[in-house]
Structure 1
Amino acid sequence: MEKKLTILDIATLSGVGKSTVSRFFNNGYVSQEAREKIQKVIEENSYAPNVFARGIKAKNNKFIGIIVPCLDSNTTSNILMALDSTLRVEGYTPLIINTNHNIELEKANLENLWRLNVEAIIVIATEVTQQHKDFIKRTKIPTVFVGQICSNGFSIVNHESAAGKKMGDYIGKSGLKNILYIGVDEKDIMVGKNRRDAVFKVLAKYDVNITEIKSDFTFETTEKLILEYLKNNKPDCIISATDNMAFGAIKAIHSCGFNIPKDISIAGFGGYKVSEIISPRLTTIKFDNEKTGKEAAYSIIKLINNIPIPKIQKIEFDFIKGESVSHLSF
């Protein structure tokens, strides 16, 4: 495999200085004689300049770094598609990095994107650490967090308190008494704490018993946890922190021979398209992920252009009244 020419190689072969070659590629002034020498070397060696590397080093390069925790999440993919398409329409080039839920890799890639001289960074976050806050303070690079609140940055989040209250009130009024809530780690402040706390706060006003177990967002783990739980327990209703986890719970419920909602009711958060076509249709909170993606794109562009935006933007939701919850009191 032939070694790819560098700018220094071209300068040596052309008999000109490295700075002259650099000016040639960046449309600076180069004498006609030097230009012809450089062009001859390029043609003889079929040299193709790295347009990406040249562009990203320039000021106002239109590159925006996007860090995502995964690519197989329904929520993340919907946000990302709207974000990507909106940025491209506005003339920006997204650089998407997947961290596979590795928080250390996420923090390292913040630094990498900053060193690459991107104009701004968007983080679809599951956690905000002190290192994230220190990065914002130190670099001053325009950064928007999606899904989590960064106290010294800009954030776009779902209206978790209102959504949790809506779900808690609906289940409380249904007359179902023994409630199982399956949530996630509180390190995820918005889902693991704020969403959960809002549900619990409202349910506390009703005459119900609440049990809680924690999963990891995945279908598989949730299915195993619910299968184990149902060996010795039978809740009236399972509230899942996400629709994906609710699907795992649904499979476990069916595996144990129970009927939904006759034997066990179930509800979730997310509002995925598949939630509307399963039978019975899932009762859930539908978040507007497309709007979240678009708002993230427009917000980061405003920050790049020094246009003020709110520190925290909350995305509203729709309540989907499916058929997966019994209505004993209705």
Structure 2
Amino acid sequence: MKKKLTIKEIAELSGVGKSTISRFFNDGYVSESVREKIEKVINENNYEPNVFARGIKAKNNRFIGVIVPCLDSTITSTILMNLDNRLRELGYIPLIINTNHNVSLEIANLENLSRLNVEGIILIATEVTKKHKDFVKKSKIPVLFIGQICEETYCIVNDEEKAGQVIGEYILNSNHKDILYVSVDENDTLVGIVRKKAVLDKILINNIKVDVEISDFSMDSTEKLIYNYMKKRKPTCIICATDNMAFGAIKALNKLEIKIPEEVSIVGFGGYKISDLISPSLTTIKFYNSLTGELAAESIVKLLNKENIPKIQKIEFEFLERKSVKKLNS
């Protein structure tokens, strides 16, 4: 079994100071005679340095901090897998931290990663607060936001405005005139404000009735919301801010024995693989989340290399017309 020596013990056995051992492990200057002493101690004790601990203390450690709001989201996991793969291809190691949608923990981890001396930070953000902005302003390392716009730094976002317009126009052309839009809280600027506004602007100019209800990103919360809402009134179409929320709406309609799309049409945003497997298959917007992950990795590395990139990069999408929307007579 390999003996786990401390830096202090290696220093004592080698007859040198701890700072010399630190320079040795971080490729600093150490005389040849001293280097031989240290290597002899390491070899005799079968010592292997902790690559992580060694790396984060180095000036150029090639670690990139990645903060995510959750690990069970289809979108987040897709972005994360492609981000991880591309970073490693580029010679960097991601340090992934999950915050479980806790904004205070998110801010704390931004500070923690900075103290760990990572080379850059990528944040998959659900909102942008003053504390986020304050951190970016004082940060000495590149910070890249995914999913939200922070004017103080670089960002990669979905083209929410165009996507929302496509859905709004599609529902308008399908002749729906009694619509429920299920949104998320406006703390999420891009989904809760920009996406919603883009959809509704296309519809409301035609004096069509639209109700707006607020849920969270979860399937269960949206299921309860729709179940209770449909007991009071029955729109011809429900537009959900995400596919996950649309699945919750579908569960509620099934419980109420309301037929989709014959009685109520459903639309989502996300383009999850499962949205094509359910019956009826879900009409939705598919964002290119794989591209987001790859682009984020390439962008943070370019920032580290002092290369110019656009302040805001927008990800394209694909409209997937399936079976969950009924076109009504005009």
TM-score, normalisation: structure 1 = 0.94
CA contact (8 A) 2:287 2:316 kept: yes
Aligned-partner residue type, residue 208 of structure 1: I
Q: Please tell me the residue identity of whatever aligns with 1:286.
A: K
**Cα 1:150–1:232, aligned 2, differ >3 Å: closer, same or farther?**
same
Q: 5+ unaligned residues in a row in structure 1: which ranges? A: none
Tell me the CA shift for residue 107 of structure 1: 0.6
Which residue identity is paired with 2:217? F
User: C-alpha distance in 2, partners of 1:30/1:4?
Assistant: 25
1:237–1:47 CA distance, 2 compared to 1 (3 A): same
Corresponding position: 1:5 with 2:10: no
Partner residue in 2 for 1:197: 197
Cα contact 1:23–1:30 (8 A) shared by 2: no
Q: Distance in 1 between matches of 2:245 and 2:308?
A: 38
Shift of 1:214: 0.9
Instruction: Compute the displacement of 1:195 (Å).
Output: 0.3
Deviations 1:243-278 (A, max 9, x none): 000001001001000110001100000111111121
Amino acid at match of 1:296: A
Q: Kindly indicate whether residue 63 of structure 2 is the aligned counterpart of residue 63 of structure 1.
A: yes
Q: Specify the alignment match of 1:21 in structure 2.
A: 21
Amino acid at match of 2:191: V
Residue identity opposite 2:19 in structure 1: S
Q: Which moved more, 1:89-98 or 1:14-23?
A: 14-23
TM-aligned CA deviation for residue 5 of structure 1:
3.1
Distance 2:158 2:42 in 1: 53
Q: Describe the shift of the 1:31–1:92 C-alpha distance in structure 2 as closer, same or farther (beyond 3 A).
A: closer
For 1:223, the aligned partner's letter is: E
Amino acid at match of 1:185: D
Contact persistence 2:3–2:47 (CA under 8 A): no
Please name the residue that 1:163 is paired with: 163
Which range moved further: 178-187 or 34-43? Answer: 34-43
What residue number does 2:328 align with?
Answer: 328
Q: Which runs of 5+ in 2 are unaligned?
A: none
**Secondary structure at the residue paired with 1:314?**
strand
Report which stretch shifted further, 111-120 or 187-196: 111-120
Mapping of 1:29-40 within 5 angstroms? Answer: 29-32=30-33, 34-35=34-35, 37-39=37-39
SS in structure 2 of the partner of residue 230 of structure 1: helix
Question: Which has the larger displacement, 36-45 or 169-178?
Answer: 36-45
Cα distance in 2 between the residues matched to 1:218 and 1:102: 15
Q: Aligned partners of 1:242, 1:26: CA distance in 2, in Å?
A: 47
Correspondences of 1:280-295 after superposition (within 5 Å)? 280-295=280-295
1:166-220: CA deviation from partner (whole Å, max 9, x where unpaired): 1111111211121111110000000001001111111112242111111110011
CA contact (8 A) 2:216 2:222 kept: yes
Residue number in structure 1 paired with 2:145 = 145
**Number of positions where the alignment pairs a residue of Structure 1 with one of Structure 2:** 328
Distance 1:295 1:329, change over 3 A: farther
In the alignment, the residues of structure 2 paired with residue 198 and residue 16 of structure 1 have an alpha-carbon distance, to the nearest angstrom, of 66
Alignment-mate amino acid for residue 9 of structure 2 = D
Kindly tell me: are residues 19 and 94 of structure 1, through their superposed partners in 2, closer, same or farther at Cα, counting changes over 3 Å? Answer: same
What is residue 238 of structure 2 aligned with on the other side? 238
Residue identity in the other structure for 1:29 = V
CA deviation map 1:119-138 (0-9, x unaligned)? 11111100111111111111
Question: CA–CA distance in 2 between the matches of 1:294 and 1:3?
Answer: 40
Deviation at 1:294, TM superposition (A): 1.2
- The aligned runs of 1:276-315 (5 Å cut-off) are 276-315=276-315
* 1:259 aligned residue: 259
Correspondence for 1:183: 183
Change (3 A) 1:308 1:73: same
Q: Determine whether 1:116 maps to 2:116.
A: yes
- In 1, Cα distance between the equivalents of 2:294 and 2:321? 26
SS in structure 2 at match of 1:234: coil
User: SS in structure 2 opposite 1:54?
Assistant: helix
Structure 2 residue matching 1:231: 3-state secondary structure? helix
Q: What SS is found at the alignment partner of 1:257?
A: coil
The percentage of aligned residue pairs carrying the same residue is 61
CA contact (8 A) 2:3 2:46 kept: no
Which deviations, in whole Å up to 9, do the C-alpha atoms of 1:10-69 show, x marking residues without a partner? 22244332233334434542453x556545544565533222111222222211111100
Is residue 218–residue 244 contact of structure 1 (8 Å, CA) maintained in 2?
yes
2:247 alignment counterpart: 247
The structure-2 alpha-carbon separation of the partners of 1:20 and 1:299, relative to structure 1 and needing over 3 Å to count, comes to: closer
Determine if the alignment matches structure 1 residue 83 to structure 2 residue 83: yes
CA distance in 2, matches of 1:16, 1:119: 30
